[in-house]
Amino acid sequence: MKVLGIESSCDETGVAVYDTALSGAAGLLAHAVYSQIALHAEYGGVVPELASRDHVRKLLPLIRQTLAEADLSVADLDGVAYTAGPGLVGALLVGAGVARSLAWALDLPAVGVHHMEGHLLAPLMEDDPPAAPFVALLVSGGHTQLVAVDAIGSYRLLGETLDDAAGEAFDKTAKMMGLPYPGGPQLAKLAETGTPGVFKFARPMTDRPGLDFSFSGLKTQVLLAWRNSDQSESTRADIARGFEDAVVDTLAIKCGRALDAAGCDTLVVAGGVGANKRLRAKLQAMCEQRGGRACFPRPALCTDNGAMIAFAGALRLEAGQREPAAVHVTPRWDM
Ligand code: KG4
Ligand code: ZN
């Protein structure tokens, strides 16, 4: 089954075609992402109305480009998948409207995908994919969740953030220290030049049982450290390193506990923060030490993309899921 995937929940327009006749990375016939970062940079964050308009502008050219790269025409498609939520309502409606219209015109089945299920299943698009049961750490700009995956489509929430998501904490901390938008990747880059241990921040909520997270206090600690420092370039890098180490350690400690609680030895990591090099290395080492395995998508499939939506949608369409041909999105949606 060749499925066209469309992602437009926030500030990335993503399009891909996944072919379930091939498995792993080979199944991804083509994918393209257009990032709106430059558009939103001057506002320091995503402006919903501008995001919707830019999706309108970019989506059809990106679909044409992706099909051309896969050497396919619309007549070769067997289904259409799109992000139905959670996300910005106007942005979601653009993707849903285009996907539903295409499916109707081509007489194809279409399915709305949960954005976080897309992230969660992204590592399964790589070669040697993990099999359920496993524990998934979902770390993005909007979510930080630990999920027990008993089977694909059967998810139990083990823990989540009580305030800021990990990516949000990266972005806000970066902004506080004057780094340009979007801050997360910039802060991670700066941390590479920082010295570990110069600034030591708390590992929030690791001193008590439970699998929930809280990152807003850590952000405040960093703000105080920054305000009381000489604010030099090297201090900024040292603080960035201290912050990154605190987030990475906290996530690793909770992941270890979640694997214990679920009785699993496979950890799957997905979402934008999953692109963080230090987090990848730490979780890999932690899982190997336990005799298990950590699985990640390639960095380009950690952040928002159409491939994960094509793949998650293809699994649902193959399982026979069909929805009525109505344009419906769910801006707030528990998985
Ligand atoms: O999954 P994603 O692209 O969008 C959401 O669904 O939120 O995640 C974006 C988040 C942002 O907060 C961004 O700062 C963070 O992922 N991020 C990173 C890195 N790359 C992206 N955070 C830390 N280190 C990175 N290398
Ligand atoms: Zn996302």
**Chain segment 23-67, per-residue pLDDT in tens:** 899 999 999 999 999 999 999 889 999 999 999 999 999 999 999
Q: Ligand 1 centre and the CA of 304: distance in Å?
A: 9
Tens of pLDDT, residue by residue over 132-177, are 999 999 999 999 999 999 999 999 999 999 999 999 999 999 999 9
- DSSP letter (8 states) at residue 303: S
Residue 181: pLDDT band by 50, 70, 90 thresholds?
confident
Residues 283 and 174 in one domain: yes
User: Looking at the domain assignment, is residue 163 inside a domain?
Assistant: yes
pLDDT of residue 48: 97
Residues 287 and 153 in one domain: yes
Residues 29 and 103 in one domain: yes
Tokens of 245: 């180490």
Q: What is the largest distance, in Å, between two alpha-carbon atoms of the chain?
A: 64
What is the spatial distance between Cα 274 and Cα 284, in angstroms, rounded to a whole number?
A: 12
Residues 186 and 280 in one domain: yes
Name the average pLDDT for the chain: 96
Q: Is the peptide bond before 133 cis (omega within 30 degrees of 0)?
A: yes
Please tell me if the CB atom of residue 271 comes closer than 6 angstroms to any atom of ligand 1: yes
Tens of pLDDT, residue by residue over 290-324, are 999 999 999 999 999 999 999 999 999 999 998 88
* Per-chain residues with Cβ under 5 A from ion ligand 2: 140, 304
User: Looking at the domain assignment, is residue 250 inside a domain?
Assistant: yes
Report the run of H or E that residue 6 belongs to, with start and end: strand 2-7
pLDDT of residue 324: 84
Please tell me if the CB atom of residue 87 comes closer than 6 angstroms to any atom of ligand 1: no
CB contact at 8 A, 123 and 296: yes
Tokens of 55: 């999706």
Please tell me if the CB atom of residue 170 comes closer than 6 angstroms to any atom of ligand 1: yes
Ligand 1 atom nearest to CA at 9: 6
Residues 246 and 160 in one domain: yes
Residues 109 and 138 in one domain: no
Residues 291 and 307 in one domain: no
CB contact at 8 A, 123 and 295: yes
Q: Give the CATH number for residue 287.
A: 3.30.420.40
Q: Is 40 annotated as a binding residue?
A: no
pLDDT of residue 326: 84
Please tell me the total count of domains within the chain.
2
CB contact at 8 A, 311 and 122: yes
pLDDT of residue 69: 98
Q: Ligand 1 centre and the CA of 328: distance in Å?
A: 27
Q: Ligand 1 centre and the CA of 325: distance in Å?
A: 33
Is this prediction's ipTM beyond 0.95? yes
Q: Ligand 1 centre and the CA of 277: distance in Å?
A: 12
Please tell me if the CB atom of residue 185 comes closer than 6 angstroms to any atom of ligand 1: yes
Tens of pLDDT, residue by residue over 268-289, are 999 999 999 999 999 999 999 9
Residues 246 and 213 in one domain: yes
Tokens of 282: 């730490």
What is the spatial distance between Cα 167 and Cα 184, in angstroms, rounded to a whole number?
A: 6
User: Looking at the domain assignment, is residue 331 inside a domain?
Assistant: no
pLDDT of residue 323: 85
Task: Please give the residue range of the domain that contains residue 57.
Answer: 2-121+302-318
User: Looking at the domain assignment, is residue 325 inside a domain?
Assistant: no
Residues 18 and 100 in one domain: yes
CB contact at 8 A, 95 and 83: yes
What is the spatial distance between Cα 111 and Cα 96, in angstroms, rounded to a whole number?
A: 9
Tens of pLDDT, residue by residue over 62-121, are 999 999 999 999 999 999 999 999 999 999 999 999 999 999 999 999 999 999 999 999
Segment 201-214 mean pLDDT: 96
pLDDT of residue 44: 87
How many Cα atoms are found within 13 Å in the side-chain-facing hemisphere of 235? 12
pLDDT of residue 249: 98
Residues 278 and 249 in one domain: yes
